[in-house]
Amino acid sequence: MAREQRRELMLAAATAMVAERGFAGVSTDAVAQAAGVSQPYVVQMFGSKAQLLAAVFERTSERVLAAFAAVPAGPRAEGAMSAAYMSLAQDGDLLRVLVHGLCAGTDPVIGPLARFVLTETVRLFQERTGSDLQTARDFLAHGMLINVLLVAAAPAHLHESALLEQLSRVTMGPALIDSWDAATPRA
């Protein structure tokens, strides 16, 4: 297998682990085992666990920002930005990694990346839509609430609370809830 293919396997394994366990719950040993390589090879490829995890978050961030950057400016941009985010929300691992990264604000490597994602999202939204900062903030806040609901597995637990179901449906819309619910294993 080519070096780049192994690198992709390691990143995919680390992404799934970060999504499930958070950054602290990932070891280079576990990534190596999941990717079918040796632990020293993971370190050789990335330099350290911290650099591997930064690569995971950077890749996640790039996907998010690329989706927003692809939206053309104009009168339909706000709806297109929302649609781009909802498309990203179909990938539960992506959102979980994003949330874990945003919660790692004190990490010297991931923290600056997390802050960049937040500010770049606002910048792209304003640039594409021509909106003011409050509208951009509302877009970001709505997206973060979607993240929190999905990371908390709310769609799989709507039956637990009528209010949780109402909040989820008004925040995410039925299409995202149904797609997420269908893909979420039940305990």
Three-state DSSP at 111 gives: helix
Percent over 70 (pLDDT), the chain: 93
**Model pTM score:** 0.85
- Provide the 10 A C-beta neighbour count for residue 186: 7
pLDDT for the residue numbered 48? 93
pLDDT digits (tens, 9 = 90+) for 41-85: 999 999 999 999 999 999 999 999 999 999 999 999 999 999 999
The confidence score (pLDDT) of residue 154 equals: 87
